[in-house]
């Protein structure tokens, strides 16, 4: 069967009367790069927000590294996960959002240092050195003392990536990370993700509208439509030889 780092099993999610996810089954292997494509409102963001524990499924289970995200065993009984359990699993997951969510009153170095200092209680000088290295990696080594407001959108998004990487996640989630950017800034952000993908160790789940990018880096693409995975396969299968009419219609919009 092979190893699995993330497993969604029969996931349903409703917001009030609205059924958003209708039976999602998904296995992601360590180091696998999975792209989620599909029309707006089809449930892509909800799928990845669940892994960050930002949304809870209405039914179904999600396992990270074999551990159930929302349930834990206590004295031989299965009970609802407590905050400690959630935090320990969440430590394996990093997320980059469409809007960068940086802290405006902190320099970009401080932004990158915050979580490891607080959550992992690591030595400050060591965290600082790692943060500098991470910012160098995303091409911002000469900007470490600037504040988010002094950066372009593309630079801010690269800081957000460096910050997520500081926690050394096993899985990185990217939620339409280029869609709030001016077109000329998209390339630099995709380039950083491409480099990360090539390094290879982390699993990645990417919600994206950049089809060329998905073709380039994804091992597998899932086409989500109306809360179900309507079609999935290799990038070539999905983007060059789409089977379902809905996927064909969806892709036609990008040509």
Contact residues: ligand ADP, CB under 6 A: 15, 20, 38, 40-46
Angle in degrees, CA 178, 179, 180, rounded to 5:
95
CA angle 54, 75, 3 (to 5 degrees): 55
Least CB distance from residue 60 to ligand ADP, whole Å?
Answer: 15
Supply angle C-alpha 216, 217, 223, rounded to 5: 90
Task: Provide, rounded to whole angstroms, the least separation between the CB of residue 50 and ligand ADP.
Answer: 10
Nearer residue to ligand ADP within complex by CB, 41 or 141: 41
The residue among 30 and 39 lying less far from ligand ADP, judged by its C-beta, is 39
- Starting at the earlier edge strand, list the strands of the sheet with 6-15: 18-28, 6-15, 59-64, 67-68
Q: 238: phi > 0 → left, psi -120 to 50 → alpha, else beta; which? A: alpha
Spatial separation of the C-alpha atoms in residues 209 and 178, rounded to whole Å: 9
* Residue corresponding to tokens 């900007």: 143
Q: Which is nearer to ligand ADP, 43 or 94 (CB)?
A: 43
Give whichever of 22 and 143 is closer to ligand ADP, judged by the CB atom: 22
DSSP 149: G
- Closest to 229 measured CA to CA, from 52, 37, 1: 37
Q: Whose Cβ is closer to ligand ADP: residue 130's or residue 225's?
A: 225
Q: Smallest gap, in angstroms, from Cβ of residue 55 to ligand ADP? A: 7
User: Nearest distance from residue 63's CB to ligand ADP, in Å?
Assistant: 21
By beta-carbon proximity to ligand ADP, the closer residue of 100 and 250 is: 250
Min separation Cβ 78 and ligand ADP, Å:
27
CB of 123 to ligand ADP, least distance (A): 38
Q: How many residues does the chain have?
A: 255
């Amino acid at each position: 069967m092979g190893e699995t780092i993330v497993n969604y099993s029969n996931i349903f999610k409703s917001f009030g009367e609205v059924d958003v996810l209708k039976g999602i089954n998904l296995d992601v292997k360590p180091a696998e790069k999975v792209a989620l494509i599909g029309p707006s409102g089809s449930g892509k963001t909800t799928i990845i927000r669940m892994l960050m524990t930002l949304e809870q499924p209405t039914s179904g289970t999600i396992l990270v590294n074999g551990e159930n995200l929302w349930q834990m065993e206590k004295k031989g009984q299965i009970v609802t996960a407590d905050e400690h359990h959630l935090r320990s699993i969440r430590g394996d997951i990093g997320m980059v959002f469409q809007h960068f969510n940086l802290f405006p009153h902190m320099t970009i170095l401080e932004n990158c240092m915050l979580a490891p200092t607080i959550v992992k209680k690591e030595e400050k000088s060591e965290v600082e050195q790692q943060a500098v290295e991470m910012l160098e990696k995303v091409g911002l080594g000469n900007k470490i003392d600037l504040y988010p407001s002094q950066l372009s959108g593309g630079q801010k998004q690269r800081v957000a990536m460096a910050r997520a990487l500081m926690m050394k996640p096993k899985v990185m989630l990217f939620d339409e990370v280029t869609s709030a950017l001016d077109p000329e800034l998209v390339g630099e952000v995709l380039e950083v993700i491409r480099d990360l993908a090539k390094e290879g160790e982390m699993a990645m789940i990417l919600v994206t509208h950049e089809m060329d990018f998905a073709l380039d880096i994804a091992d597998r693409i899932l086409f989500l439509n109306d809360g179900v995975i309507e079609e999935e396969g290799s990038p070539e299968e999905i983007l060059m030889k789409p089977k379902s009419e809905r996927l064909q219609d969806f892709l036609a919009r990008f040509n």
